[in-house]
Amino acid sequence: MSSMNIPQSSYPRVVIIGGGFGGIALAKKLSKKEAQVVLLDKHNYHNFQPLLYQVSTGGLEPDSIAYPIRKVLQGYPNFFFRLAQVKEVKTDTKRIKTNIGEIFYDYLVVATGSETNFFGNKNIKAKGMAMKTIPQSLNLRSLILENFEQALLTDDLHERDALMNFVIVGGGPTGVELAGALAEIKKGILPKDYPDLDTRRAQINLVQGGDRILPAMSEKASEKAEKFLEELGVNVWKNIRVTDYDGKKVTTNTKTIFEAETLVWAAGVKAVGLKGLDVRELLSRDNRLKVNEFHQIVGLEDVFAIGDVAQMVTEEFPHGHPMMAQPAIQQGRNLGDNLVLLMDGKPMKPFVYKDKGSMATVGRNKAVVDLPKFRFQGVFAWFVWMFVHLYFLIGFRNRVVVFINWVYNYIRFDREARLIIRPFKKQNKVEKNTLMQD
């Protein structure tokens, strides 16, 4: 037995760091091949990030959009999962240091994904909310609900408004979808839950630095999404950059300020780096690892990167592929095929990204879809959005439960998963250490 109790094998060992879309797609490709696959992740589950905003807004349970990694690759004899935090990669000796020991690799694939990028703004990082992981999404859910409970208690109108004022920074899909969901909660749930509070005063502000929301989509989609948001009562602010936040006041590069107890930062992501691969020449501006058309990290033949953490510069994508699920999945599959070719001594096939389009949902019957050949918005787009998300969700049970929830929420105009299971405010103020067990 080698370190981490992974048995010696006559097959070459492929170590994958990260069980996101890319890592899982790759592991599946390799699962029946002549390779020993070791997947490392600090969580024991794969997390379907595109639906995190529905967890934050009480529409879905967190367990429905997560899936045990062990279960994805159950039954494959050459597959090994280890719950581990990677500390360092040593490319000279082909070893990885983790919190549970060291491991040797023949081929290493970095699929660590991305995290929220606050662009160095410490105040926003400290006082704002991010929404890139399940615990973060649950924290946001708690905070939103706690704010309304607190708004009930104060007679200070100024304070009450600030508690019901939401500033979402970033007009990409995450910001748009969260703003839309909050607007629906404001309309459908708050008046019933808080009849003694004038919830019409609740404000949802979406702040976008550029001149249109959903800038990665077509202009038609941006336009329509903005119209949908306005119909729902969201205040869309364009050409404004948020510059600072002290937990109460949001300042911008213009005269506009917001007094808000909740700021959600969805304005940027950066790749999750690894010690040992943090050489300046390897990294792009947003911390991504520069790779060639075979996903090989520049200068390293047996180390690869896929998904959000990889930057493959092409004519069409001079800054790398979009940091989304689709490129990660396609890259994982391509690399799976290529690793088999490489082990057989055959030439690898360069990666070609097939753009399957992109989409975002704003609210019930309101979505925008850009396919390579068609663009459409509205009810049909909304059904397509739901179908595609159910299709890519891992696990039959998850699909059924999510589907049931969506049907229920649609018919009842409701979102029932609005529980403060882990109080966020309290935890971050007085009772930090005790509350988790209570």
Shortest distance, position 13 Cβ to a copy of itself, whole Å: 15
Q: For a copy of itself, which stretch binds (CB under 8 A), given 19-27, 102-110, 253-261, 401-409?
A: 401-409
Q: Which is nearer to a copy of itself, 66 or 303 (CB)?
A: 66
Q: What radius of gyration, in Å, describes the C-alpha atoms of the chain?
A: 23
DSSP β-bridge partners for residue 36: 13
Pattern 368-397, binding to a copy of itself, x per CB under 8 A?
Answer: ---------------------------xxx
Count Cβ atoms within 10 A of the Cβ of residue 300 and give its class: 0-12 exposed, 13-18 middle, 19 or more buried: middle
Residue among 192, 184, 18 nearest 109 (CA): 18
Segment 34 to 73, residues that bind a copy of itself, using CB under 8 A: 43-45, 61-64, 66-68, 70-71
Element holding 211 (H helix, E strand)? none
Q: Which two tokens stand for residue 142?
A: 């708690």
| Residue reference for tokens 């990660």 | 328
Shortest distance, position 371 Cβ to a copy of itself, whole Å: 32
Query: Can you tell me which of 340, 343, 371, 417 binds a copy of itself, judged by CB under 8 A?
Result: 417
Q: Which is nearer to a copy of itself, 284 or 427 (CB)?
A: 427
Examine residue 102 and tell whether it contacts a copy of itself (CB under 8 A).
no
Examine residue 33 and tell whether it contacts a copy of itself (CB under 8 A).
no
Q: Which DSSP string do the residues of 331-390 spell out, in sequence order?
A: HHHHHHHHHHHHHTTPPPPPP------EEEEEETTEEEEE-SS-EEESHHHHHHHHHHHH
Shortest distance, position 193 Cβ to a copy of itself, whole Å: 4
In contact, 291 and 298? CB cutoff 8 Å: yes
Shortest distance, position 349 Cβ to a copy of itself, whole Å: 32
Examine residue 134 and tell whether it contacts a copy of itself (CB under 8 A).
yes
Nearest 5°: CA angle at 320, between 42 and 52? Answer: 45
Residue among 84, 123, 119, 121 nearest 101 (CA): 84
Indicate if 416 belongs to the active site: no
Q: State the number of binding residues for a copy of itself (CB under 8 A).
A: 65
How far apart are the C-alpha atoms of 326 and 240, rounded to whole Å?
Answer: 30
Segment 234 to 273, residues that bind a copy of itself, using CB under 8 A: none
Shortest distance, position 243 Cβ to a copy of itself, whole Å: 24
Q: Which two tokens stand for residue 372?
A: 């390579």
Buried residues in 349-371 as b, exposed as e (16+ CB within 10 A): eebebeeebbbbbbbbebbbbbe
How far apart are the C-alpha atoms of 324 and 169, rounded to whole Å?
Answer: 19
Q: For a copy of itself, which stretch binds (CB under 8 A), given 9-17, 146-154, 275-283, 323-331?
A: 146-154
Element holding 282 (H helix, E strand)? none
> Which member of 115, 159, 177, 226 is catalytic?
177
Query: Can you tell me which of 57, 139, 262, 287 binds a copy of itself, judged by CB under 8 A?
Result: 139
Chain contacts with a copy of itself (rule: CB under 8 A)? 1, 4-5, 7, 43-45, 61-64, 66-68, 70-71, 74-75, 77, 80, 82-83, 100-101, 133-136, 139, 145-146, 149, 152-155, 192-196, 395-398, 400-401, 404-405, 408, 412, 414, 416-422, 427, 432-433, 436-438
